[in-house]
């Protein structure tokens, strides 16, 4: 992964990470999902959403606006 990416959201549920990614995309904020869950035991590990560092404040606003849906 390139430099200047920061983690903005973490969940154990893939669908929640995807919802955050789609909400960010709606505001033209590029994001990447990294699945760190164990492949055989989904109860171990997390799914993380990363964004560019310069989009941090806008991304936080988007997540706060959409938190009801999470």
Per-residue model confidence (pLDDT) at position 1: 62
| Domains along the chain with CATH numbers | 16-69 (3.30.70)
| β-strands 5-11, 31-35 pairing | unpaired
Reported confidence tier of residue 70, pLDDT bands at 50, 70, 90: low
State the burial class of residue 20 (Cβ atoms within 10 Å of its Cβ: 0-12, 13-18, 19+): buried
Task: For residues 24 and 62, give the distance between their C-alpha atoms in angstroms, rounded to a whole number.
Answer: 7
Reported confidence tier of residue 3, pLDDT bands at 50, 70, 90: confident
What does the pLDDT look like over 5-30, one tens digit per residue? 999 999 999 999 999 999 999 999 99
């Amino acid at each position: 992964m390139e430099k200047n990416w920061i983690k903005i959201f973490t969940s154990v549920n893939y669908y929640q990470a995807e919802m955050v990614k789609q909400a960010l995309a709606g505001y033209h904020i590029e994001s990447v999902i990294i699945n760190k869950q164990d492949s055989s035991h989904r109860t171990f590990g997390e799914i993380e959403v990363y964004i560019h560092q310069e989009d941090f404040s806008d991304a936080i606003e988007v997540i706060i606006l959409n938190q009801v849906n999470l």
